[in-house]
Structure 1
């Protein structure tokens, strides 16, 4: 590939957004719970198992297929993601039509979940390679699409359920997702080896530096920093998911909201989740990735400790929405941070392994919340537990900062010796 045939890197980013907006529709699952449960004549909790299976398979497929994604490249893995996710949604329509709950679990949960995992990690290492100067911004744009997808497809789903029925809705959405992902995958590709955008000189500035290393996934597992980042992400997600899953009853308890008013706040949570992904990942290009996570944890220690004590509506909501931006920002800043820590050699595979924290946190966070809340009946005690977890995350993030500074100091000393 010569310079004249280079693809537009911003269109590469747009293609990544196309993939993530499609698979991110999984976050609108609550919209389909009631219509689907009526078809199968079961409780909503039974239908939610398809969502849980899908998220579990997202984490597992991201972890175990990450090396394959790196090997075959984004075009093939993106196409495969589109096929799996499309078949999963189309098959869900058939399952509804046949009234087969097992087939619904298989299609939406297993097949669709594999498509989710592949689609989530496919654009990441590619974007990091195209945007060495703006890693946070580029990956944040794509992962913002995942966060905003529920706002786009949620109303579309409800409108289709009302107008064409449940099974036909799955058929229509399956076709839309398949076309969008496959067309996005056709354009996305890796840049040339050692690609640098015009005018970018790695090493200039205070936060945009050369990578600490450029190692493969197996080698990353032998480093301390892999486990530091895994713990940081696990705690950020566990605490964030816990508060998101309990947002509606919390609004009703603390602010005396009606269920409808609380539902409106849940909708706004989706907005701030998406905004946080692009905002914090972009800021991390200037603040530094380690500093961004330190800021997350310092603020959230105070936020989780103070939230139960605040009765003033506007203050409560400002703190809550800021926490939600940091939840989304943790996801979006992660790929760029991994690029800094491990390089881009097998970034997709490393990202996939770290995403196992997501699958585990999705179970642990809400479970801790429910157990402590039921045992104590106190929101103070419940959120206090999460504030304590953030203290652990802060300590780990400070150790990570120390490790990063030490590594870069070593790189600078080696470069100075080479210069002489």
Structure 2
């Protein structure tokens, strides 16, 4: 019975189904798995309770992001074949189980179980859950792909807006001991399982041949950077466009995730020794604020890309982002306002990069297997999930050992991020329409077969 319910064929929408029910279904999953962005709230308690360094306490998060990219890459074709309901169920099971295993690790002070649970098992839930609604949303909203994916994927950025104060409050209530951390993990696993099940029951795929009333594909594809053909996932990875976009995503993510993973201790370190230091509560508020801009950026900027084009919007993400990092590096701890505002805009570009990339892929490769192509591209996130936190944590740890403090712990990292964003900007400039030799010979028939 459960297997039948999860079959793609049993989730085809009836003729009168409203496409506006699909974004809430996607949000129920993305708001849950977006908890990953609140990991920095758990870092200080884990470091204190288990005697970990900043680099070690980042491992669950780093492994989770690595598994996100790998499971999205290898599971993308399965998600396309089995449908979003099956994918959301798998995501819910893995993500919640990951928290339960992490709870066991905290209770027993076995940190490797936290890494296994949150990073490995939960990371699979992150990857499958992240891509589960993408191709479905693009099929339901071919007239506004940037807006549609932005609505859903903003949930991933906004997950920490809920999780950060919630997790902080639980740690305050239960204590920052191994037992208190374990209880917090346990509650997370149970609550997220219930919340994500809403998406499993609500999601639908459009019937074959469905299109929005009054929308004509030929009129929508008039821009030179939007293809009228389709490219398979196997052919997409052979194109220079795919690898240019891989570099764009990887370095845009690296620049943002380095701040996000260490946001709470970073702002505390940055302004320690100043006249107005930042305490734990204010640092948790900073994490929530970054989550808010991360979330809003995914919707606002990706929706804007429907009007000004994907290439132009990425010019802004990468170019302005590099300038803002320079502002932070030069300003140091002279102004909290400058630091916070610049970090907020950088994180809005970071989140928007995720929300815009599915629409960019749809423009380049068509709707045929766009979910599988997106999954493969998310290996860039895996690389960035290691690279960003490694750069920031390793340099900060090294500077601490050298006796430095305040902005000096992070300035070198910021200059590295500027260089990476400039490389990403150049890669975006190299993107051109895909050569016809990579197109499917009968793309219309292929797209119909994929939709079945």
TM-score, structure 1 as length reference? 0.85
**Mapped partners of 1:236, 1:334: distance in 2:** 11
**1:43 equivalenced with 2:43 (yes/no):** no
**1:155 pairs with one of 129, 151, 165:** 165
The residue number in structure 2 matching 1:390 is: 421
How far is 1:283 from its partner? Answer: 0.7
C-alpha contact 1:133 1:208 (8 A) present in aligned 2: no
Equivalent residue pairs, number: 405
**Mapped partners of 1:100, 1:312: distance in 2:** 41
**1:74 pairs with one of 60, 78, 84:** 84
**2:198 pairs with one of 173, 183, 191:** 183
SS in 2 for 1:213: coil
C-alpha contact 1:251 1:257 (8 A) present in aligned 2: no
**Mapped partners of 1:122, 1:3: distance in 2:** 17
**Mapped partners of 1:382, 1:174: distance in 2:** 34
**1:273 equivalenced with 2:294 (yes/no):** yes
**Mapped partners of 1:57, 1:285: distance in 2:** 30
How far is 1:211 from its partner? Answer: 3.4
**1:228 equivalenced with 2:244 (yes/no):** yes
The residue number in structure 2 matching 1:293 is: 314
**Mapped partners of 1:314, 1:167: distance in 2:** 36
Cα distance change, pair 178–131 in 1 and its aligned pair in 2 (3 A) = same
**1:137 equivalenced with 2:160 (yes/no):** no
**Mapped partners of 2:335, 2:249: distance in 1:** 31
**1:363 equivalenced with 2:386 (yes/no):** yes
- The answer for unaligned runs of 5 or more in structure 2 is 1-10, 175-179, 440-452
Cα distance change, pair 177–191 in 1 and its aligned pair in 2 (3 A) = same
C-alpha contact 2:92 2:197 (8 A) present in aligned 1: yes
Cα distance change, pair 208–157 in 1 and its aligned pair in 2 (3 A) = farther
What is the CA RMSD across the aligned residues, in angstroms? 3.2
**Mapped partners of 1:168, 1:378: distance in 2:** 33
SS in 2 for 1:292: helix
How far is 1:17 from its partner? Answer: 0.3
The residue number in structure 2 matching 1:342 is: 365
How far is 1:209 from its partner? Answer: 8.2
**Mapped partners of 2:273, 2:382: distance in 1:** 29
- The answer for unaligned runs of 5 or more in structure 1 is 411-420
**1:90 equivalenced with 2:119 (yes/no):** no
The residue number in structure 1 matching 2:118 is: 108
How far is 1:269 from its partner? Answer: 1.8
How far is 1:390 from its partner? Answer: 2.5
Q: Render the CA deviation track for 1:162-193: whole Å, top value 9, x for unaligned.
A: 55644443333222211222231122122122
C-alpha contact 1:220 1:226 (8 A) present in aligned 2: yes
**2:345 pairs with one of 318, 322, 326:** 322
How far is 1:257 from its partner? Answer: 5.0
SS in 1 for 2:70: helix
Higher helix share: 1
The residue number in structure 2 matching 1:416 is: none
TM-score, structure 2 as length reference? 0.79
C-alpha contact 2:228 2:366 (8 A) present in aligned 1: yes
How far is 1:123 from its partner? Answer: 0.8
